[in-house]
Amino acid sequence: MKTFKIAAILVMLVLPTLRTDAQTPPAHAAAAGPIRVLLLDGESGGPWHNWKLTTPVLREELEETGLFQVTVSTAPPSGADFSGFNPQFNHYQVIVFNYDTPDWPEALRAQFEQFVSGGGGLVVVHAADNAFPNWPAYNLMTGVGGWRGRNQQAGPHWYFNDGKLTSDSAPGSAGNHGARLPFQVVSHAPQHPIMRGLPPVWMHAPDELYDSLRGPGKNMTVLATAHSDPKNKGTGHDEPMVMVVRFGKGRIFHTPMGHDPAAMSCVGFITLFQRGTEWAATGKVTQKVPANFPTMNSVSYRVDIASMDPAYLNGASPIVGHPAAK
Ligand code: ZN
């Protein structure tokens, strides 16, 4: 068990680049243009995940690269009328889930499975791995998930032990986290396109460190982990923080990091999200690691992103030194 303290919080203010207006692309648009992204949000099932606040953050982080053309779509709450919700997955190269919902109509599930298994990309951010506990294909895509009643029936608890991926099938609930504190992220796959050039260990901004996630873990590669500290209600294990999964011909990038704009303002999170989305869409990463990437003991976050949350401006954000339970 280790306790890490931040030597200093480096504030790296990077002015946002000009964004172009994202418009719905025509069907079968040329592959040479920007990567077409559908950013899906909506119901979160509670007060914890404010997608109205975080969707503009994720959109900005993709669009500022100049690589992506982002369309946002908000799904109806579960049980509502889905007849007007027709996302046309095949118009996009990658779907980003800033979305947690219990269920979808069967026809929509089938369309989505077809999209991903046929070679589409999927990006799963934070509580999107809470969604769809009873949809087997979605749980195969995420590899692991938590909450919404998941237990051992969802699959074993996956974690790293002595640097190796381990699974524990003992009964128990899935999904837990402590207070939002900074934590170190450790890379296990320096040669993977998403991880190439990143430091082997870096300090993530205050965030919920998800632990005890369970799932099939099939075709899943864990690229990075974080130590779940028992002093902060953790397991004492190294929990998966960055995963890639294959589902048919589809590529999935999954990170349980990114609870709120404070966590999403971490230059480490931003870099992984931008690279992971490119990789899920194309299988390649062309983006460089920014110079202000966090170091082993120092958080590096973007004020322009953190400021998109009113909590940052009134001093209540954990990134300005006020750790708070959710
Ligand atoms: Zn959360």
Element (H, E) at 95: strand 94-98
- pLDDT digit string, tens, across residues 250-294: 999 999 999 999 999 999 999 999 999 999 999 999 999 999 999
CA of 33 to the centre of ligand 1 (A): 34
Whether the Cβ atoms of residue 170 and residue 265 lie closer than 8 Å to each other: no
Nearest-5° angle of CA 318, CA 322, CA 326? 60
Q: β-strands 68-75, 35-42: how paired?
A: parallel
Distance 227 CA to ligand 1 centre (A): 17
Expressed in angstroms and rounded, the spacing between residue 42 Cα and the centre of ligand 1 is 15
Average pLDDT, the chain: 90
CA pair distance 218, 246, nearest whole angstrom? 8
* Ligand 1 centroid from CA 49, angstroms: 6
Q: What is the CA(129)–ligand 1 centre distance, in A?
A: 10
pTM: 0.89
User: From start to end of 281-320, where are the E strands?
Assistant: 300-301
Rounded distance from Cα 261 to ligand 1 centre (Å): 11
Q: What is the whole-number distance in angstroms between the Cα of residue 258 and the centre of ligand 1?
A: 7
Instruction: Please state the length of the chain.
Output: 326
Distance 126 CA to ligand 1 centre (A): 7
Q: Do the Cβ atoms of 231 and 257 come closer than 8 Å? A: no
Going from the Cα of 318 to the center of ligand 1, the distance in angstroms, rounded, reads 13
Give the Å distance between the CA of 180 and the centre of ligand 1: 9
CATH class of domain segment(s) 4-22+33-78+85-325: alpha beta
Report pLDDT digits (tens) over 2-61.
Answer: 433 443 344 343 333 333 333 434 333 445 789 999 999 999 867 789 999 999 999 999
**pLDDT tier at 321, thresholds 50, 70, 90:** low
What is the Cα–Cα distance from 148 to 12, expressed in whole angstroms?
37
| DSSP symbol at 270 | H
